[in-house]
Structure 1
Amino acid sequence: MKYNFDEIIERRGTGSGKWETYDKDVIPLWVADMDFAVAKEVQDDLLKRVEHGVFGYSAHTLPELLDTICIRTQKLYNWKIYPEQIIFFPGLGSALNACCRAFGNPGNEVLVQPPIYFPFMDAIRNQNKSVNHAPLIRDDTTEYIEYEIDYAKLDESIDTNTKLFLLSNPHNPVGKMYNKDQLTKLATIAESNDLVICSDEIHCELILDNKIHCPTASISDEIAARCVTLMAPSKTFNLAGLSCGYAIIQNPDLMLQVREASAGIIPGVNVMGYTAALSAFQHGNIWLQQLLEYLQENRDYVLQYIDKHMPNIRSTRPEATYLMWLDCSQINIPDANPQAFFLKNARVAFSDGAMFGPGGDGFIRLNLACPKSVLETALNRMHNAINKL
């Protein structure tokens, strides 16, 4: 089946946070969900579940989904996991909070690599912990902005008060994929400082240019023993509103700590989320392959447009995710706030780079997971707004 990602689907009036936060004349390219219909097979399976007509509590074990996750993980990453090593969450935001609650005591530090997905900082503060920033190092010597790790400074930033490392792999917002050598170095630092690693890998199947994702915990048994891996079908298959995510925890002691931190406050997966996740993993691969091709085309179009029409903006070239990280600091924007400028003058909504911590000022995050015609209109609006300065 050939999917039509050029189709414009009206999302206003459906309770969409992405489309109903701003006025009707604003193009929303901010929050990370996609403007594409899910795979037909997923829609059909959801309709069958609705037609059943009974929506009682879901089971705690969900054996078919557990087995499907284990099979998929083995196939994609050659990583052997077992059903008892998986715990479900209604979303990875709740999983991040559970990890921040589980590991360490109030007042302890949690290590992050900014600019970073801002709910990391929210989860840390929600659980009365402190944020320890070990910023990525920006490299401007290449055609596009790249980010590297200063391993020595990262190691130096850790002290006995640091208990947890929140890792974004692939990295949101810069779109960086970590390779095995990089992850091994990070894990070695974590091991030498006795840190638990919470590796948020929600974008693990949104890998561009036919590259292959490396799960942090898949590298060795020693790394797996201190690792909590967070995954979900929500970003990959556009199912965020159906609330189904999971953590893979191969160390029984860490699993117990996460379960205890979650008990009584984090609900299980709802029946529709279970149905959608199972269907997507079992039947969504053709849709996903076509999606990745479309996302690559959109990414390349944005880069070409910026190079031709807005050369004062510099961008990353994401290896993964459908998010682009744009440096607008060389444009003479009032108050140096590109998010507010483009919202007011171009009527396009982006995520504000400042929200992503140190290194985010002057940036916006652009979501390119929309029909190309929408992207074209948004970029033209940006260009026109800049020309009026």
Structure 2
Amino acid sequence: MSFDFATPINRRQPRLSSDAAEDVIEWPSQKWHRYDEDVLPLWVADMDFRSPPEVIEALQARLEHGVYGYGLVPDSLRAALCEWSVRRYDWDIEAGWQHWLPGVVPALHLASLAFTEPGDGVMTVTPIYPPFLQVARRTGRELQQAALVPPESEEGQWTLDLDALEAAVTERTRLLLWCHPHNPTGRQWSHAELEGLAAFVERHDLVVVSDELHCDLLLDEGARHVPLAAAFPQLAARIVTLWAPSKTFNLAGLTAACAIISDARLRRRFVETAKGLMPDGNVLGLVAAEAAFRHGEAWRQALLDVLRGHRRALVERVARWPGVQLAAPQSTYLAWLDLRESHVGSADSPAAELLKQAGVALSDGADFGWPGFARLNFGTTAQQLELALERMDRVLG
């Protein structure tokens, strides 16, 4: 079965209703409507590809029912995620470990409320997906940060600095927010790094929330993701794993994610905290999630081939830009550009300068805790990516 990842889909223009041309129904997109029409958006992490056909068909069938009242998480979805976990990651999870909720960002905030007290420390490593840096402030906790180590060569990768974690931890630290694989660097952590992290978590008696949203998108041939909880079962009483079909199958707007918590006491605290703060499941999101996990594998494999080609094209292009560095992402459709030594590196925000000079919108590295960097989303058509890179050529080349 073939899938179309090449034809551009117009996400900017509104659709007209079938009844009358004057009745305009707008479907605004955060990605495409944040900037003017002459800007190419490669920022927020959603892709410009249609979701798997089986997902679209399942949604159409659910829409035909015509009633969209309060729903329940179906046992069949729980079973589908259990099967996906065993088949893809050799991790035998149970249906009762799952708590479905509207997204990973709400889950991060829930974890802070459930497992810490006001004034406690919430730790993470930087650079990091911006909501990780906002959880502590929003929940009245103390943000604690440890920096990753940048690559030492063009072939190198970002690495975990366990000494930096030790320097940042305090007696009030209670929670570690972890990203595995890592957003924005695309790093797939080594077993040795994770082993050191697990020992750190145990030594300091921390709860760890492992955001593993990009685990289905490993780009290196033969690479295999091992969930943190599966690799280190001794962490069972202190770990929350976050999974979702949103990044893999481009379903972010349907708001369906899952917290997997094997420890009953930990799970009870998390679920009790969610009551009254989280809405019931999105009935369409749950349908889409099950269809994706049951029938989306062929589409995912085709997507990976496309993303590998895009990564290759991006790495080759960056090599032509003086002063720009990129550690080729091992996972995700996100690239973390070091622009500090580039032509735009002297600007307060290289991303803002590229927006101004090239008309390409990237995510500002300052929001990830590292000014001078920018995150580029290459989860788009080859045509769109090439057009954006040509514009960036004129500024960075």
TM-score by length of 1: 0.96
Shift of 1:79: 0.9
Query: d(CA) in 1 for partners of 2:90 and 2:55?
Result: 26
Counterpart amino acid of residue 16 in structure 1:
S
SS at match of 1:364: strand
- The 5-angstrom pairing of residues 130-141 of structure 1 reads 130-140=142-152
1:314-337 Cα deviation digits (max 9, x unpaired): 112100110000011112325242
Shift of 1:145: 5.0
Query: d(CA) in 2 for partners of 1:91 and 1:146?
Result: 29
- The 5-angstrom pairing of residues 268-347 of structure 1 reads 268-308=280-320, 310-333=321-344, 335-347=347-359
1:54 aligns with 2:70: no
Q: 2:115 aligns with which of 103, 106, 117?
A: 103
1:3 aligns with 2:3: yes
Query: d(CA) in 2 for partners of 1:220 and 1:116?
Result: 23
Counterpart amino acid of residue 179 in structure 2:
S
Q: 1:34 aligns with which of 34, 39, 47?
A: 47
Name the structure 2 match of 1:370.
Answer: 380
SS at match of 2:272: helix
1:32 to 1:192, Cα distance in 2 relative to 1, 3 A? same
Counterpart amino acid of residue 51 in structure 2:
V
1:248 aligns with 2:252: no
Query: d(CA) in 2 for partners of 1:374 and 1:326?
Result: 18
Check whether the contact 1:179–1:214 (CA below 8 A) recurs between aligned residues.
Answer: no
Check whether the contact 2:323–2:343 (CA below 8 A) recurs between aligned residues.
Answer: no
Name the structure 2 match of 1:198.
Answer: 209
Name the structure 2 match of 1:149.
Answer: 160
- The 5-angstrom pairing of residues 89-238 of structure 1 reads 89-140=101-152, 142-144=153-155, 146-210=157-221, 211-238=223-250
Query: d(CA) in 1 for partners of 2:195 and 2:395?
Result: 45
SS at match of 1:9: coil
Query: d(CA) in 2 for partners of 1:20 and 1:41?
Result: 28
Check whether the contact 2:198–2:232 (CA below 8 A) recurs between aligned residues.
Answer: no
Query: d(CA) in 1 for partners of 2:342 and 2:217?
Result: 31
Query: d(CA) in 2 for partners of 1:353 and 1:268?
Result: 34
SS at match of 2:347: helix
1:23 aligns with 2:36: yes
1:283-322 Cα deviation digits (max 9, x unpaired): 11000000001001001101101113x1321112100110
1:74 aligns with 2:86: yes
Query: d(CA) in 2 for partners of 1:325 and 1:145?
Result: 13
SS at match of 1:58: coil
Query: d(CA) in 2 for partners of 1:268 and 1:299?
Result: 38
SS at match of 1:199: strand
Among the aligned pairs, what percent are the same residue? 40
Cα root mean square deviation, aligned: 1.2
Check whether the contact 1:73–1:80 (CA below 8 A) recurs between aligned residues.
Answer: yes
Name the structure 1 match of 2:251.
Answer: 239
Shift of 1:221: 2.5
SS at match of 1:332: coil
Shift of 1:118: 0.7
Counterpart amino acid of residue 2 in structure 1:
S
Counterpart amino acid of residue 89 in structure 2:
Y
Check whether the contact 2:128–2:368 (CA below 8 A) recurs between aligned residues.
Answer: yes
Query: d(CA) in 2 for partners of 1:220 and 1:383?
Result: 45
Shift of 1:219: 1.6
Check whether the contact 1:138–1:148 (CA below 8 A) recurs between aligned residues.
Answer: yes
SS at match of 2:99: strand
Counterpart amino acid of residue 8 in structure 2:
I
Check whether the contact 1:329–1:362 (CA below 8 A) recurs between aligned residues.
Answer: yes
Query: d(CA) in 1 for partners of 2:296 and 2:104?
Result: 21
TM-score by length of 2: 0.94
1:186-227 Cα deviation digits (max 9, x unpaired): 011110100001000011101112311111000233112210
* More displaced 10-residue stretch of structure 1: 207-216 or 234-243: 207-216
Check whether the contact 2:351–2:374 (CA below 8 A) recurs between aligned residues.
Answer: yes
Query: d(CA) in 2 for partners of 1:227 and 1:248?
Result: 9
Counterpart amino acid of residue 21 in structure 1:
R
Counterpart amino acid of residue 68 in structure 2:
F
Contiguous gaps of at least 5 residues in structure 1: none
Query: d(CA) in 1 for partners of 2:190 and 2:71?
Result: 37
1:148-188 Cα deviation digits (max 9, x unpaired): 12212312321210000000000000110113332121011
SS at match of 2:388: helix
Check whether the contact 1:145–1:314 (CA below 8 A) recurs between aligned residues.
Answer: no
SS at match of 2:213: coil
